[in-house]
Amino acid sequence: MPFAINDGVRIHYEVVGHGEPLVLYHGLTGSGERWRDTGYVAGLENGHRLILIDARGHGQSDKPHDPAAYGRRRQAADVIAVLDDLGIPTTRFWGHSMGGAVALTLGRHHPRRVSALIVTGYSPFAAAGDEAAEMAAWAADLRGGMPGFVAGYERRHGPLPDDARLRWLRNDAAALAACVASMIAESDGAQVDDLPAIATPVMLLVGTKEPFAAQARHAAALLPHGTFVPLTGLDHVQTFFRGDLVLPRVREFLANHASDDV
């Protein structure tokens, strides 16, 4: 079972497929397995060497309970540790939601390690309105453990798919609470200042029902090589689950932005 070590934290990863490397980095409550469940592994493994990473606090990676152990700079360093463990000098990277913050951090602070970035369900602008309220609700719901978190989410957004609900319930609530606390602390929009300095091509795919859809469009305009793709009528969860709409856009972008090194 492969693990990379960063700051004493074990980061679990899995490698699937053959071809140019592509890291897949999930959002809050997820794991590398979610890319398989939703069909993305099957849709990309022919022609791509997929690196499925369990973010710290998730899946089979270590689960610190201290908010100081989280944050996008630490998570980006986890990715670099995995790439170093595999001997991969340059990769393309797809980050969803929380993983979108990691993607842009890699583009800013580790530009030689990433040749193209895909961001789904994320905006680097300061959380406000419905987005900020949702993050606050996560923190409150996690006080009731994972059952409370799942119940609160479904109360606001409707039932989750059965397999997703079961996976969410298996999470370590204290680790997620620490991760969410770090996310809230970093949701002040400071990452926006980095956007003009990110030379890596970036595609942002965002559902039009996301509260930050307009901000994501603005973020793409601030990037030297940014592309905004609106996913009409999709909300946050659907943006990940609707592979039939997302995969064609991803394949086109990947075809246009091959890694320099394999």
Characterize 155-192 residue by residue with b for buried, 16 or more Cβ atoms within 10 angstroms of its Cβ, and e for exposed: eeeeebeeebeebbeebbbebbbbbbbbbbebbeeebb
Consecutive H or E run containing 12: strand 9-16
Gyration radius from the chain CA atoms = 17
Tell whether 261 is covered by a domain: no
Tell whether 172 is covered by a domain: yes
Tell whether 262 is covered by a domain: no
Q: What is the pTM of this model?
A: 0.95
User: Pairing between strand 9-16 and 46-53?
Assistant: antiparallel
The whole-number pLDDT of residue 157 equals 86
Q: Which domain holds residue 10?
A: 3-256
Tell whether 66 is covered by a domain: yes
Q: Are 184 and 136 a contacting pair, CB within 8 Å?
A: yes
Q: Are 153 and 129 a contacting pair, CB within 8 Å?
A: no
Tell whether 220 is covered by a domain: yes
Tell whether 212 is covered by a domain: yes
Q: Are 97 and 75 a contacting pair, CB within 8 Å?
A: no
pLDDT in tens, the chain (262 residues): 699 999 999 999 999 999 999 999 999 999 999 999 889 999 999 999 999 999 999 999 999 999 999 999 999 999 999 999 999 999 999 999 999 999 999 999 999 999 999 999 999 999 989 899 999 999 999 999 999 999 999 999 889 888 889 999 999 999 999 999 999 999 999 999 999 999 999 999 999 999 999 999 999 999 999 999 999 999 988 889 899 999 999 999 999 987 654 3
CATH number at residue 143: 3.40.50.1820
- Tell me the DSSP string of 186-245: TTTSGGGGGGGG--S-EEEEEETTSTTHHHHHHHHHHSTTEEEEEETT--HHHHHH-HHH
How many domains does the chain divide into? 1
The whole-number pLDDT of residue 160 equals 87
The whole-number pLDDT of residue 259 equals 60
Consecutive H or E run containing 47: strand 46-53
Q: Are 17 and 44 a contacting pair, CB within 8 Å?
A: yes
Tell whether 197 is covered by a domain: yes
